[in-house]
Amino acid sequence: MLKLRFLPLLTLLFCQNSQAELRATGDLGVVIERAKGSALIINTSKRSILAKIDSLGDLSHASVVFSRDQRYAFIFGRDGGLSKIDLLQDKVEKRIIQAGNSIGGAISQDGQLIAVSNYTPGGVKIFSTKTLQLVADIPAEYGENKLSKVVGLVDAPNHQFVFTLFDAGEIWVVNIKNPKTIDIKKYKNIGNQPYDALLTPDGRYYIAGLFGEQGLALLDLWNPEKGIKRILPDYGKDDEKLPVYKMPHLEGWAVAGDFMLIPAIGQHEVLVIDKRQWTLVKRIPVIGQPVFVMARPDGRHIWVNFAFPDNQNIQIIDAKTMAIVKSLTPGKAVLHMEFTPRGEEVWVSVRDENQLIVYDTESFKEKKRLPAEKPSGIFFSSRAHQLGL
Amino acid sequence: MLKLRFLPLLTLLFCQNSQAELRATGDLGVVIERAKGSALIINTSKRSILAKIDSLGDLSHASVVFSRDQRYAFIFGRDGGLSKIDLLQDKVEKRIIQAGNSIGGAISQDGQLIAVSNYTPGGVKIFSTKTLQLVADIPAEYGENKLSKVVGLVDAPNHQFVFTLFDAGEIWVVNIKNPKTIDIKKYKNIGNQPYDALLTPDGRYYIAGLFGEQGLALLDLWNPEKGIKRILPDYGKDDEKLPVYKMPHLEGWAVAGDFMLIPAIGQHEVLVIDKRQWTLVKRIPVIGQPVFVMARPDGRHIWVNFAFPDNQNIQIIDAKTMAIVKSLTPGKAVLHMEFTPRGEEVWVSVRDENQLIVYDTESFKEKKRLPAEKPSGIFFSSRAHQLGL
């Protein structure tokens, strides 16, 4: 009886921690600290850092996807590491080294499978999101038993993964509805050295950029039988122009209404493309070589960051006038930007200032600064609900 | 010392419940049970019912919005009740009766404020999402101190709420960035008896349907100075046609690429509108009077349900051909449909069968049935991240 009298108190004391842990996952995010191989778990409502996760390996070119319940973040490291982070318990749930050198990944539409695109050995490996057990291994074979680097891996509707073979110049569409009998459609001769690709937000158009020649390779997933179409023949690296300090990220292309805004390679321009005919309708002069060209979720504003030596800047384009409405200088080495789900704020990583800066997207005023060690990519949990990210 | 030996065991025992409660919020949803005034909390990954919440008042015309962290669901009841449900603890956090008769609500872009549109007294009340304390009261005054019923309340970018005055024939745009000095823009003479409205997913176009005359009232929030534009002059109730069994929900209109699919009123047709010129481009014959016309998140398929006496049916339109590709008969009184965030499945409420049915949207096969008492509206937590819902 004596013991029982104390139970409520003891329970309170010892349960407090797990009570304090009661946490929703709709407003969480992960920030990559590239130099330290660590990641921060952040909260976009409180604009705060909740936890730091260490020992994640080489994150010099890392990306993140989220489980469909938003509890887990999957971090793809440059060293082939695949780490599953529990956002409710601030810990590494599981970590594997699945290849020698990997470049990114995607999560299937139903959240059951996670795919990683690898440089060495060249190919795609598919894992169970629950256990990280290998479900399928797809070597990117071409020519005489050669393996190609794989880039531009995305998830698409109807249980598909789509990716591009850099060395082979091919696009493969994989249907993984039944992982035991994987169906692969291969599109060959898409162009020279496709270096990256994107999927439009509606999941319909897959577009690969070409490093070895000009133009872009377009696959319409609504009409796959029509094969690859070459668009924007004048787009791409032109050796007579400026040296290219950094190839832009295609994932950072912006779709705003009927238009797509994309970074011109090696030039101080953002290009406006009419999505209906895939024609160039305008060139917007900007302060440097654009890297990410990202639309606010409502499509009204497009935020642009730049390659060295102009990477202390951000410029904002108004989709109504297709002109710059604001220029900001957050600080040295602005690497990435991520909008809150409904777009009222944007988080910016400023690597060489060791800062995260949160801006109000209507007034462009700074709302908060947070410390981070050499921050690079910022990824919010709302990505769990979007196609092709 | 003796007591201390037992602490771990006791802690385990008494903390177990809160441990078991560790739950992410990205794949949750709320289903309204209209007859019983109750709601189910469901999980779309496990396709399961997690909890039932009772005593929520009159839910005969209920709708739901979610906090930006997805922890809380706010249920708007017909009786003026506003209930805040904790999705992590399966309980009513707080419940108030804020008016005599209310029709729906919205949550602000930043998640700080919740707005309710009321019939009696006619107007909009704005509350803190945290406390449900009244922040602002906006009576819908017109003419000689008359109050109008308010319909079509939505959240819009840049801290705005937009709504329509049924009796006054006006659209009001409210900026609540500073709740103490609320700025209201009023657009008068928009048309006779606007009965409902919608915001396009990009947050740009607000469109009100008219019960008293034909055509629709369009407000372009990118160009508010241009005022109201009347579009689709032939659209609306035509007394020579079939009797109207149920006015369609405008929130259920589908935007797919450049096109908008909308239910024809009192006719067995879905209308296809070119969003660029707001012109009618096609009439698709369907089995009954359409109620909800909803696009799968990727826009490839559009699912349609119907008014009595055809409400046992669902038909699915392919956006590529704008023709029906599949017809389903889930059972008596199909009231609502909600797609999973990336669209691989859809949940359907079948009121008179007391069933929820989950379909695979690629194969159209039934995947799961769950019991529910007279289910009506289905709302998933991913709505927290979308504009105008």
Q: Identify whether A301 is part of a domain.
A: no
Closest CA to B199 of B215, B178, B222: B222
Closest CA to A345 of A369, A326, A361: A361
Q: A67 vs B298: CB contact, 8 Å cut-off?
A: no
Residue A10 predicted with pLDDT over 50: no
* Distance separating alpha carbons of residues A50 and A22, to the nearest angstrom: 13
Residues 154-183 of A with CB under 8 A from B: 157-159, 177
Buried b (16+ CB within 10 A) or exposed e, A62-99: bbbbbbbbbbbbbbbbbbbbbbbbbbbeeebeebbebb
- Cβ-proximal residues to B91 (8 Å cutoff; 6+ apart), any chain: B53, B85
Q: B24 vs A22: CB contact, 8 Å cut-off?
A: no
Rg (CA), chain A: 22
When comparing pLDDT for B6 and A359, which is higher? A359
Mean per-residue pLDDT, B2-22: 48
B385 reaches A (C-beta below 8 A): yes
- Per DSSP, A312 falls in state T
Phi, psi for A119 (deg, rounded to 5): -85, -50
d(CA A243, nearest CA chain B) in Å: 37
Residue A16 predicted with pLDDT over 60: no
B69 vs A27, A71, A384: nearest CB: A27
Instruction: Determine the 3-state secondary structure of A352 from DSSP.
Output: helix
* Distance separating alpha carbons of residues B304 and B287, to the nearest angstrom: 10
Q: A89 vs B22: CB contact, 8 Å cut-off?
A: yes
| pLDDT for the residue numbered A40 | 98
Q: Is B121 exposed, middle or buried (0-12, 13-18, 19+ CB in 10 A)?
A: middle
Q: Is B144 exposed, middle or buried (0-12, 13-18, 19+ CB in 10 A)?
A: exposed
Instruction: Determine the 3-state secondary structure of A336 from DSSP.
Output: strand
Q: Identify whether B235 is part of a domain.
A: yes
Residue B7 predicted with pLDDT over 60: no
Amino acid letter for position A10: L
| CA neighbours closer than 13 Å in the CB half-sphere of residue A260 | 23
* Distance separating alpha carbons of residues A318 and B145, to the nearest angstrom: 41
* Distance separating alpha carbons of residues B88 and B44, to the nearest angstrom: 15
Q: Identify whether B353 is part of a domain.
A: no
Please give the residue of chain A at the shortest CA–CA distance from B24. A71
Percent of chain A with pLDDT over 90: 78
B323: number of Cβ within 10 Å: 11
Q: Identify whether A31 is part of a domain.
A: no
A342 vs B3, B342, B385: nearest CB: B385
DSSP class per residue in A39-51 = EEEEETTTTEEEE
Instruction: Indicate the Cα dihedral angle B286, B290, B292, B295, nearest 10°.
Output: 20
Q: Is B230 exposed, middle or buried (0-12, 13-18, 19+ CB in 10 A)?
A: middle
pLDDT in tens, A271-316: 999 988 999 999 999 999 999 999 999 999 999 999 999 999 999 9
| pLDDT for the residue numbered A272 | 95
Please list every residue in chain B whose beta carbon sits closer than 8 Å to the beta carbon of residue A26: 25-26, 66-71, 381, 384-385
Please list every residue in chain B whose beta carbon sits closer than 8 Å to the beta carbon of residue A297: 387
pLDDT in tens, B145-184: 999 999 999 999 999 999 999 999 999 999 998 888 899 9
Where does the pLDDT of residue B242 fall: very low under 50, low under 70, confident under 90, or very high at 90 and above?
Answer: low
Mean per-residue pLDDT, B239-268: 76
| pLDDT for the residue numbered A54 | 96
Rg (CA), chain B: 22
| pLDDT for the residue numbered A21 | 65
* Distance separating alpha carbons of residues A310 and A267, to the nearest angstrom: 12
Please list every residue in chain B whose beta carbon sits closer than 8 Å to the beta carbon of residue A87: 24
Residue B253 predicted with pLDDT over 90: no
Buried b (16+ CB within 10 A) or exposed e, B269-279: bbbbbebeebe
A4: which 2 tokens? Answer: 């029982």
pLDDT in tens, A231-274: 998 887 665 555 666 667 777 678 888 899 999 888 899 999 99
Q: Which of A10-19, A105-114, A148-157, B16-25 has the lowest mean pLDDT?
A: A10-19
Residues 265-294 of A with CB under 8 A from B: 276
Q: Identify whether B291 is part of a domain.
A: no
* Distance separating alpha carbons of residues B156 and B379, to the nearest angstrom: 19
Q: Is A337 exposed, middle or buried (0-12, 13-18, 19+ CB in 10 A)?
A: buried
Q: A109 vs B343: CB contact, 8 Å cut-off?
A: yes
β-pairing verdict for A28-33 and A38-43: antiparallel
Contact yes or no for A92/A109 (Cβ under 8 A): no
Residue A20 predicted with pLDDT over 60: no
* Distance separating alpha carbons of residues B24 and A385, to the nearest angstrom: 14
The DSSP H or E segment spanning A118 is strand A113-120
* Distance separating alpha carbons of residues B52 and B67, to the nearest angstrom: 19
pLDDT in tens, B100-119: 888 899 999 999 999 999 99
- How many domains are contained in chain A? 1
Amino acid letter for position B135: V
pLDDT in tens, B210-225: 988 889 999 999 999 9
d(CA A298, nearest CA chain B) in Å: 5
- Cβ-proximal residues to A293 (8 Å cutoff; 6+ apart), any chain: A248, A252, A253, A254, A261, A262, A263, A270, A302, A303, A304
- Print the domain residue range for B124: 104-244
Percent of chain A with pLDDT over 70: 92
* Distance separating alpha carbons of residues A80 and B221, to the nearest angstrom: 47
Instruction: For chain A, give the number of residues.
Output: 389
Q: Which of A50-54, A207-211, B46-50, B287-291 has the lowest mean pLDDT?
A: A207-211
- Cβ-proximal residues to A74 (8 Å cutoff; 6+ apart), any chain: A64, A65, A66, A67, A82, A83, A84, A85, A105, A107, A114, A129
- Cβ-proximal residues to B145 (8 Å cutoff; 6+ apart), any chain: none
Q: B22 vs A21: CB contact, 8 Å cut-off?
A: yes
Q: B342 vs A157: CB contact, 8 Å cut-off?
A: yes
A4: number of Cβ within 10 Å: 7
CATH assignment at residue A205: 2.130.10.10
Q: B68 vs A26: CB contact, 8 Å cut-off?
A: yes
Please give the residue of chain B at the shortest CA–CA distance from A67. B26
* Distance separating alpha carbons of residues B191 and B207, to the nearest angstrom: 12
Residues 353-382 of B with CB under 8 A from A: 362, 381-382
The DSSP H or E segment spanning A348 is strand A345-350
- Per DSSP, A249 falls in state P
Interface test with B, best of A5, A7, A25, A274 (most B CBs within 10 A): A25
B10 vs A11, A19, A26: nearest CB: A11
A1 reaches B (C-beta below 8 A): no
Mean per-residue pLDDT, A14-25: 64
Where does the pLDDT of residue B96 fall: very low under 50, low under 70, confident under 90, or very high at 90 and above?
Answer: very high
Contact yes or no for A152/A208 (Cβ under 8 A): yes
Residue A382 Cα distances to A43, A85, B223, B341, B364, angstroms: 12, 16, 29, 10, 27
Please list every residue in chain B whose beta carbon sits closer than 8 Å to the beta carbon of residue A45: 68-69, 111
Contact yes or no for B24/A25 (Cβ under 8 A): yes
Q: Identify whether B285 is part of a domain.
A: no
Please give the residue of chain A at the shortest CA–CA distance from B299. A202
pLDDT in tens, B332-345: 999 999 999 999 99
Mean per-residue pLDDT, A350-379: 98
Amino acid letter for position B18: S
- Cβ-proximal residues to B315 (8 Å cutoff; 6+ apart), any chain: B286, B287, B303, B304, B324, B326, B327, B328
Contact yes or no for A325/B369 (Cβ under 8 A): no
Q: Identify whether A303 is part of a domain.
A: no
Amino acid letter for position A196: D
B60: which 2 tokens? Answer: 């005969």
* Distance separating alpha carbons of residues A37 and A35, to the nearest angstrom: 6
Place of tokens 């960051």: A305
pLDDT in tens, B31-82: 999 999 999 999 999 999 999 999 999 999 899 999 999 999 999 999 999 9
Where does the pLDDT of residue B236 fall: very low under 50, low under 70, confident under 90, or very high at 90 and above?
Answer: confident
B353: which 2 tokens? Answer: 């069968």
Residues 115-144 of B with CB under 8 A from A: none
* Distance separating alpha carbons of residues B198 and B152, to the nearest angstrom: 6
Interface test with B, best of A344, A359, A363, A368 (most B CBs within 10 A): A344
A341 vs B276, B344, B385: nearest CB: B385
Q: B381 vs A222: CB contact, 8 Å cut-off?
A: no
Q: Identify whether A33 is part of a domain.
A: no
- Per DSSP, A23 falls in state -
Q: A26 vs B110: CB contact, 8 Å cut-off?
A: no
A243 reaches B (C-beta below 8 A): no
Interface confidence, given as ipTM, is 0.92
The DSSP H or E segment spanning A188 is none
Residue B337 Cα distances to A43, B67, B359, B361, angstroms: 31, 21, 10, 12
